Structures are given as structure tokens and as C-alpha cells.
Structure 1
Amino acid sequence: MSETSISQNAPSKWSRRQTIKVLAATLALPLGIAGISRLGEQPSFQTWHGESLGGPASLTLWNPNAAFARSTIARMRSEVERLELVFSLFRHDSELSRLNQDGRLATASPDLVAVLEAARDIAAASNGAFDPTVQPLWRLYSEHFRNQPNAISGPSALAIDGARSLVDYRQIEIGPRQVRFARPGMAVTLNGIAQGYITDRIADLLQQEGFDNSMVDVGETRAIGGRPEGGAWTIGLKNPLNALEVNRTIAISNEAMAVSGGYGQHFPGSDLHHIFDPASGRSAKRLLDVSVVAPRAMLADGLSTAIFVSGEGAKASLLALYPNTRAVLTRRDGTTA
């Protein structure tokens, strides 16, 4: 068995899921690969570690033709870069950034339209617990902690109410190629679902290329098939009460997994994080984390956020709407469900 690594620079910005899953993602590969050496001469693993939407990304491909696997990785990297120009909030020239700046896009890509429509569907199913229009809250909190770092309780109730008045997924008007906000000042973040979309896009392309046993982690995790030697891929999850400890595993095969938890990124000096409850305008604190397994990463991505915000009581009804989904959540006292 051989393994070839193609590396990019380490990411400078980490999203909540990527911070949560960085340990899980790196553990997934050794646990999944374990035992292959017993089989004798095998095709090689080709791996890439890079960045997507400001956080760590990786591909692990299993193919007897190492050169073909490497060229495939290069094509996948190009596709990730293309989708960065659609969804990134870190790039001023992305479609999403231009939509937030202008309040409309006269010509939106099919990728952006598809993700906005999926986000709207999950928002409706969760009664607004998942809402892509929470970006004004993020801007408010970010500005508050930048200008008043010692005011660790967060923005005033009046300021929060002002930002909340701009949060309503129903006020996004989505056409076949056009997108606009019904209210001035609205803005969207798709970090709770676009990473899943990119993961699915890469996984679908790899399957078309003939890769039957591979692991994709482009913000979220999706397994193509199972492990080459048989069985499911095993993903390690870190303990939300101890960031240095992996205390749970989830097995996936031809499935995707996403994790939401508020401990991944806190505002400096406070216990506030950036997974907001649209109903209150404050950080969601009903749970410590939620892991969702679903047939596709975009669905797992949106559902994990929706359940994290809405709480344990909403889990069963939400999952019942989507076949072949399951979830593991950690309560505030550290127990799991």
C-alpha cells in the first residue's frame, strides 16, 4: 500500500463544522484504511489536503492507476475553486458576496439557485430554525466584539431586534436565474449548507469517474462506497466537553455526515458562538452538538444545524421528513441521544 499527499497551505479561516471535524476527518482515514496491508499488493491511496470555503478539505481516492487518481484530484481542485467563486463569504467577487452587497443578482448560477432553494426547503421544514438569512446577526456580533471586546454579554437587545428584523428566509425571491432580497439590508450565509453541496458535487463527479471506494471531506464528509477491504468507513467524533478527546465513532458507507456544534468558534472572551437562533437572535444553546447522517451531504449539513438550533424535541419530527437519515446529539450535560 502506498499513499501520496498533495498539500496546499493550511487554511486561515475555519468554520464551525470544520473546527469540530478536523480531528474526526483525520481519524477517518487511518481507521478506514486499517487492515488493507494484509491484502498484499494493492492500488494506492492518493490524498489531497487543502481548503474549501475557508476551512480544511481533503480527498482520499482509491484507484489502481495512481496517475489517473492524481489528475482526477487536480480536476476536483479546479471544481472546488469554481464553487468558491459562487459561495465564499471571504471573497468579495463571489456570487454570494455580490448578492449580499447589491441585494440582487440578475444572473445567478444554477449552483447558487439550487442551494438557496434547498436552504429554503429545510428552513420551512424546521419552522425557521435553519435560516440562511442570519448573516445580519453575524455582522452585528462581529462588529460588537471588534469594537467592544470587554462587553462579553453581546450586543444590546435593541440592536439584536434590529438585526432580527432582517432575518426571514421567506423574503428571498428565487427565480430560475435571478435572486433578490425583498428587504434592503438583508444578507445570506450559506456556510450551513453550501459545504455539503460542494462535498456532494465532488463525490458525484468522482463516482462518474469510476471511483467506488473513496472519502470526500470538503467541509462535510461523504463516503463513496465502503472501505476497499470491506465494511464501512469509521469517523471519529471529538468530545464536545474535551476538544483533545475522541469519544465516539460513526460508521458510514455510501452516506454523508455533518456535525454542528457551537464550541467550534466563539466570539473572543465570551461563551457566545455564531450558530444563531433566529427566534431570539442569540447563540443557540439547547445542545452541545449534533451529528446527522443522510444520503447526501447537503441534507446532512442543513439538518444538523436545524436540530442544533431547535433542540432535541424537534429531532424525530425533522428526521421523519427525510428518509434514511439519523442523528446523534449531545445534551448540555454531556449525555447523548
Structure 2
Amino acid sequence: MIQKKYYGLGTAITLSVNEPATEADLDAGNDLIAHYEDILTVNRPVSEVMSVNHAAGQKPVQVSEITYKLVKRAVEVSNWHLGFNTAIGPLVKLWKIGFDGANLPSDADIKERLQLIDPADIQLDDQNRTVFLTKPGMEIDLGGIAKGYIADAIKDLWVSRGVKSGIIDLGGNILLVGDSAHTNGQWRIGVQNPLKERHVALGVLTTPAKSIVTSGIYERYLVINGHNYHHMFDSKTGYPIQNDLESVTIVSDLSIDGDIWTTEAFYQDIEKGIPMIEKQPGLDAIFVTRDFRVAITSGLKDSFMLTDDHYHLI
């Protein structure tokens, strides 16, 4: 397997392909990441999404088909009101968790931002391909959905280039392409132990080519006076969501679905999250709690195996 490491999307990226694919296929994937990041990021002053944010309360902004398609999907999912909210930008920028200047904001500042995070205040015009944030100070944030969208785009690119087998690893988003070279074409993928460094697994998933997306509170957090504040915010309170989960992993065909449903499942916790995922065609999930419990949906009972003795299946 030919493998290269890159940096983008705020994380370490590893792209791998089996021969006869070549390093050129890896670099083409990385070029695509760079292009998508340039137009979708909100962590730089200039991008298509930032042009929408800068015009909040002033005017609609026309964007490219790529950006419009993703924003439209993000708004649609936000209006389910299950936890995912693409209008969360003002809260993210207020807390700055995972970035320079991370802080615990005042209750008054948080309440002020809560007035700016309603996805119903995002107006979309399909005909003109414009996005309008109707209130000054609003900000779209695609951080909860862009990685999956980009991973799926790399897979489409690779398939168009004739790549038969490979792994797209965007740090938390793993997308498998084609058959593995081992074990009857099945892949063996480690599921991250939330308490250990990256690539230390608590269990192993044996799977055909799927997307495996993990989201957890261990990735970005802020500790103040012994209290841990993570980066997954509750749109109702303006504070990090409070439950006993460490992470949620979604197994799906598309990586964008993994992004969406890790967030939704995390907000619902195990009690509501398991039945919610069971109802979604083609989705499975692994929930990991802070007290070392692991819950899985029925579709994974023969394909997921715990490997860390500290954890137990419930």
C-alpha cells in the first residue's frame, strides 16, 4: 500500500492506495482537500463561506455549486433540531475551544449569541444560488459536516481515476475504498480509545468498504478550575452538551452521513441514540461512555470486537 501524510482541515491527514494506483492519486486527493478547504473554511478571513458570514444582515451572497450544495444540506439537517446546527458559528467563535484565546464566556455573552444561532434565519435561493444570513452577527460553521463531504469527494475522484482500493483518513473520518488486500476483501479498522493517543484502539471493526466517523469530547476541550468544557455545544443552552458520552462512531456508506449522525447521536445520548440510529437505513453506531461502557447497534454485533479490557459491552 502506498501511503502519504499531509496536513489540512486542522488535522493530520493520511491517504493510502493499493497498487496499481500511484502517488499521483494521493496528491490529487490532497489537492482536492486544499481546494475545498479554501472555499469552505471559517478559520480564515477569506473563503466563500466567510463571504456569506461577512454579509450577515446585509445582503445575500452568491456561492459556487459546491458550497451551495453543502450549505443547503447543513441547513436541512439543522432544521431537524436533533442537535446538529450549522448556525452555531457565533457560539464557536465566542468560546474558541480548540483555538487560541479559548475561554469561559459570561452568561450574558452566551445569551446574546443564542439569539444568532437559529437555522431558520438562513435564507437559501436555489435559482440564484445565494445564501443570506438575515441577522447581523450570524455565522455559518460547516465544521460538523465538511470533512465527510470532502472525504466522499475524494472517493469519487479516486474512482474516476481508476483507484480500486484505498483508505481516506481525515482524522476522525475514515472512508474505505474498494476491497482490502486481506481477509476476503474485508477491512479491519480500529475504533479510537478516547483516553489514549490517536490510533490506540478500544476495539476493532471488521467491515466491507464503509465510512467510519468518530466524534468525541476528547478532541478539543478547555479546562478551567478543574472543569472540562468540550467543543460540542447545545444550541438551547449555549454551553457544551452534558451527558456521559465520550464518543460516538457511525458506520455508513457516505462519510457526510457519518458526520451528521455522530453529532445527532451524541446529543441524544445512548438511551435515545441507539433506537434513533437503528431506525436509519444503512447506519450503525458505537457509543462509548465516560465510565467505560460500550453500546453498539444490532448491525455490528458480529463485526465489532472489544480489545481493551477496561471497557465492557452493555
**TM-score for the superposition, normalised by structure 1:** 0.78
Asked whether the equivalents of residues 265 and 273 of structure 1 are also in contact (C-alpha less than 8 Å), the reply is: yes
1:275 is matched by which residue type in structure 2?
Answer: M
Counterpart of 2:107? 157
1:312 is aligned with what amino acid? Answer: I
Deviation at 1:102, TM superposition (A): 2.0
Q: SS of the residue aligned with 2:4?
A: strand
**Could you list the per-position Cα deviations for residues 45-84 of structure 1 after superposition, in whole angstroms to 9, with x for gaps in the alignment?**
221211221111121011226xxx1222222222111101
1:291 maps to 2:241: no
For 2:155 and 2:71, how far apart are their aligned partners in 1? 20
Percent identity over paired residues: 24
Give the drift of 1:273: 1.3
Kindly indicate which of the two structures has a greater share of residues assigned to helix: 1
For the Cα contact (< 8 Å) 1:53–1:87, is it kept in 2?
A: no
2:32 is aligned, of 70, 76, 79, to 79
Query: SS state of the match for residue 294, structure 2?
Result: coil
Aligned twin of 1:309:
267
> Of 192, 207, 210, which aligns to 1:238?
192
Contact 2:55 2:61 (C-alpha < 8 Å) held by counterparts: no
Once the 2 structures are TM-superposed, how far is the Cα of residue 324 of structure 1 from its aligned partner?
0.6
How far residue 194 of structure 1 moved from its aligned partner, in angstroms, is: 0.2
Q: 2:209 aligns with which of 254, 261, 273?
A: 254
Match of 1:330 among 267, 284, 288: 288
Does the aligned pair in 1 maintain the 2:149–2:256 contact within 8 Å? yes
Residues paired across the two proteins, number: 284
Amino acid in the other structure paired with 1:246: A
Which sits farther off after the overlay, 321-330 or 193-202? 321-330
Gaps of at least 5 residues in structure 2 are 296-314
Greater relative contact order structure (CA < 8 Å, 6+ sep):
1
Q: Mapping of 1:161-180 within 5 angstroms? A: 161-176=111-126, 177-180=129-132
Q: How does 1:91-106 map to 2 (within 5 A)?
A: 91-103=44-56, 106=61
**C-alpha contact (below 8 Å) 1:128/1:278 kept by paired residues:** no
Q: State the alpha-carbon separation in 1 of the partners of residues 61 and 75 from structure 2.
A: 19
Which of the numbers 52, 60, 64 marks the counterpart of 2:8?
52
Match of 1:63 in 2: 19
Alpha-carbon contact 1:133-1:187 (below 8 Å) kept: yes
Q: Secondary structure at the match of 1:283?
A: coil
2:68 paired with 1:113: yes
Amino acid at match of 2:256: M
Structure 2 distance, partners of 1:120, 1:320, is 24
RMSD: 2.2
Q: Match for 1:212: what amino acid?
A: K
Task: Select the residue among 266, 272, 279 that pairs with 2:236.
Answer: 279
Deviation at 1:95, TM superposition (A): 1.0
Q: Partner of 1:277: helix, strand, or coil?
A: coil
Return the offset for 1:124: 3.1
Whichever residue aligns with residue 54 of structure 2, its letter is Q
Structure 1 residues 209 and 247: alpha-carbon distance in aligned structure 2, compared to 1, 3 A threshold: same
Please say if 1:204 is aligned against 2:162: no
